[in-house]
Structure 1
Amino acid sequence: MFSTDRAQAIADRVESFVRTVVVSYEGDPRCGFHGPGDDLVMELREKARAAGVLTPHFLPDGSHLTQRETATVLIRSGLSPLGPLACNTMAPDEGNMYLLGKVGTAQQKAHFLAPLLEGRGRSAFFMTEPATDGGAGSDPSMMQTICVQDGNHWVINGRKAFITGAQGAMVGIVMAKSTDGACMFLVDLPDPAIRIDRVLDTIDSSMPGGHAVVTIDNLRVPADQMLGQSGEGFKYAQIRLSPARLSHCMRWLGACIRAQEIASAYACRRMAFGKPLVDHEGVGFMLAENLIDLQQCELMIDWCAGVLDTGALGTVESSMAKVAVSEALMRVADKCVQVMGGMGVTGDTIVEQVFREIRAFRIYDGPTEVHKWSLAKKIKRDHKLH
């Protein structure tokens, strides 16, 4: 993977911190069914701050590493499911920070971005809506949440679903539809007009606050807290989503690299039928196939990051990367569980959790099938042009 000296130095510090400090917290009882508790998150972030690896993909002058440099760093932070939380490289905060850095005004950055960069609070991105309401999911044009201007404020009403980290968040980015089109608003949380109806029970458990269903009831937002311009919300969503999809790939690649390490170590020491498991072709070949998939994931991430670094929106490239990497990592995680047999389905290592998280990752930021459908439409358009 392409890297620079500065990115490699940051990544080395991040990896050392994750392996020597964060890994020891993986069995902490504060890691609950709906994600790690905020007290654990803040404890880890204090340790990351002391180690100089908090929000490592942002430089001291406020600038962001290139996407290829970010990949070098975020892969290392993902070596533990708790690593991105500790280092402040976790979704949805990482994507929200990126968007605010690109679109926010100086005043908005001072009020909403600064505490996120400093790791003092978490954020949530309110876009997806309940399917039962016919709301926006993979098709954002179905958005039902509305916003109406009232003097120097906007009033927002609607429902949202699968809102990661809404429970306990400090900053919210709310998407709603005006007569101009989609809009984004920055809000301080908690707010009594944003009610968490319930936190869903989901297969994954790595994200603080879990994934909530939310009702927004006459939320009043000052006009100067609109992010960008009225009607431009979908454009801003793409600014956020392309690198955010790729960041997911980076972090979960790190997790699968660690799962492969654990499964390989197990296969090399576990004896069966007179020899180590790794010497049985059925096991050794699975681990070999994992090495191939991991290398291909790294190359795909590096290629897509390079496209984004040219200034391109990268929606097509990020769709391809998201599909290829999520599906490959699913194969890797599944084989790691299989290699470890009964141990692989226990909580004695992180392999079982990584398997669950990767299964959910195939749906995060658009299911595989939606991305393939989008790519197929591009093929059809390109064919017509010729």
Structure 2
Amino acid sequence: MQFDYTPKVKEMQGRLLAFFEQHIYPNERRYLDEIRSNREAGNAWVATRVIEELKPLAREAGLWNLFLPRSTRAPEGLSNLEYAPLCEIMGRVPWSPEVFNCSAPDTGNMETLERYASEALKDRWLEPLLRGDIRSAFLMTEPAVASSDATNIACSIERDGDQYVINGTKWWSSGAGDPRCKVYIVMGKSSPDAPRHAQQSMIVVPADTPGISVKRPLSVYGYDDAPHGHMEIELRNVRVPVSNLLLGEGRGFEIAQGRLGPGRIHHCMRSIGAAERALELMCTRSLERTAFGKPIGEQGVTQERIAQARCEIEMTRLLTLKAAYMMDTVGNKAARAEIAMIKVVAPNMALQVLDWAIQVHGAAGVSDDFPLAYAWANQRTLRLADGPDEVHRNAIARLELNRYRQMQAV
């Protein structure tokens, strides 16, 4: 097996790391200060200047739209395997992926539009998303049902002549708080009498369509993630053209599976980056502070945790790369077990490493003087986002048991 990255990827890694040293790390405090200043001025939901200033620099550096493979509209896109080590670097700072136009939920929405939308919808919405001119949101989860089972979704999509009428309430609509969010992709029920996995459809909805009401932002462990935001949205008699439907009625579940595969592995790539950053900070802090007569890094418990963190990061990276390789070579469906496994493993690994890093930092670790507490909150949401751990574990177990059922049937 070949475990080394290609010369192309190595060169891009170097370029991206240099960009972080020059532009991302020096602006971490400025980003937080800007959001705090906007909030004190009475409106936290304002696009940050620092990200807008860095976007042109990222494009000039050739670090733009790297996430989207096999697209004539984004020829700079890489394969999943090529993108993995670069996405990992972006995960070191939670807000940095937007600088490179590689942030969720836009990446998943762009992938969805590229794979399933008409050329007219691509011209209208995909092109400005690829340019970074607008942002988007994905409306799937609902407050009234257990949305970990997507077949529970109740938001209705009913045809009325040459329009669809949408009614329902969505929440955890990430990115919908951003003033640049101009379009939603909405999953709802269009065919309630069809078989269970053929009842849902996905449809493109402009964010300024009459009948849409953004009710409130939802906080995550006290963070509202402004200006990105995770919003609760009501859709009441929202009308859009029939041509806005993606792929066809009853094919929403199929689209969701295609959309969530890349999204899940991107989260895992970034989780590895978050863990690497945490381990780096843990080691640095442990060598700078002395307790009970010697540096914290020389305490046995700290060394044990550092060693275990390195082992778990390396194991997680290998599983992520395997999943990415399979997605590229045999497709998302054939790689579904590997995608499910890494979606369970990566956030849990990152949470553990972050927890150890916070412990080494002491009280400072839970403050915003260091990026650890916010990174931990982000990683904890990933055990729910794009399917909770329990759903993925069940899927892995079913696939494993099916192998033995087939063997017994022979």
Measured against the shorter chain, the TM-score band is over 0.9
Q: Which residue of 2 aligns with 1:255?
A: 274
Residue 188 (str. 1) matches residue 188 (str. 2): no
- What is the identity, as a one-letter code, of the residue corresponding to 1:114? E
Q: Which residue of 2 aligns with 1:11?
A: 13
Residue 30 (str. 1) matches residue 43 (str. 2): no
CA distance in 2, matches of 1:2, 1:138: 37
- Among 342, 360, 381, the residue aligned to 1:360: 381
Shift of 1:332: 0.8
Alignment of 1:314-325 (within 5 A): 314-325=335-346
Alpha carbons 1:270, 1:276 under 8 Å: kept: yes
Question: What is the TM-score normalised by the length of structure 1?
Answer: 0.93
Alpha carbons 2:212, 2:234 under 8 Å: kept: yes
Q: Which residue of 1 aligns with 2:182?
A: 170
Q: Which residue of 1 aligns with 2:127?
A: 114
- Among 218, 234, 242, the residue aligned to 1:215: 234
Question: CA deviation digits over 1:100-132, x for unaligned, max 9?
Answer: 2222222221111111111111110011111xx
Query: Any idea what SS the aligned residue of 2:189 has?
Result: strand
Alpha carbons 1:300, 1:325 under 8 Å: kept: no
Alpha carbons 1:330, 1:358 under 8 Å: kept: yes
Q: Give unpaired runs (5+ residues) of structure 1.
A: none
Count residues with an aligned counterpart: 383
Q: Which residue of 1 aligns with 2:218?
A: 200
Residue 39 (str. 1) matches residue 48 (str. 2): yes
Deviates more, 1:198-207 or 1:281-290: 198-207
Query: Any idea what SS the aligned residue of 2:48 has?
Result: helix
Alpha carbons 2:91, 2:269 under 8 Å: kept: yes
1:57–1:370 Cα change, 3 Å: closer
* Structure showing greater relative contact order (alpha-carbon pairs closer than 8 Å, 6 or more residues apart): 1
RMSD of aligned Cα (Å): 2.2
Shift of 1:99: 1.8
CA distance in 2, matches of 1:188, 1:42: 23
Alpha carbons 1:136, 1:144 under 8 Å: kept: no
Question: CA deviation digits over 1:261-308, x for unaligned, max 9?
Answer: 111111112122232211111112111111111111111110111111
Alignment of 1:193-342 (within 5 A): 193-203=211-221, 208-310=227-329, 311-313=331-333, 314-342=335-363
Alpha carbons 2:157, 2:166 under 8 Å: kept: yes
Question: CA deviation digits over 1:104-162, x for unaligned, max 9?
Answer: 222221111111111111110011111xx2x3510010111111112211111111111
- What is the identity, as a one-letter code, of the residue corresponding to 1:194? I
- What is the identity, as a one-letter code, of the residue corresponding to 1:24? P
Alpha carbons 2:209, 2:239 under 8 Å: kept: no
CA distance in 2, matches of 1:116, 1:207: 20
1:8–1:227 Cα change, 3 Å: farther
- What is the identity, as a one-letter code, of the residue corresponding to 1:12? G
- What is the identity, as a one-letter code, of the residue corresponding to 1:15? L
Question: What is the TM-score normalised by the length of structure 2?
Answer: 0.87
Alpha carbons 2:365, 2:373 under 8 Å: kept: yes
CA distance in 1, matches of 2:383, 2:258: 21
CA distance in 2, matches of 1:80, 1:207: 16
Question: CA deviation digits over 1:225-280, x for unaligned, max 9?
Answer: 11111111100100010111110011121122112111111111212223221111
CA distance in 2, matches of 1:282, 1:136: 41
- What is the identity, as a one-letter code, of the residue corresponding to 1:172? Y
Deviates more, 1:319-328 or 1:42-51: 42-51
1:136–1:166 Cα change, 3 Å: farther
Alpha carbons 1:153, 1:222 under 8 Å: kept: yes
- What is the identity, as a one-letter code, of the residue corresponding to 1:351? L
Alpha carbons 1:164, 1:207 under 8 Å: kept: no
CA distance in 2, matches of 1:222, 1:44: 37
Shift of 1:58: 4.4
Query: Any idea what SS the aligned residue of 2:365 has?
Result: helix
Alpha carbons 2:220, 2:377 under 8 Å: kept: no
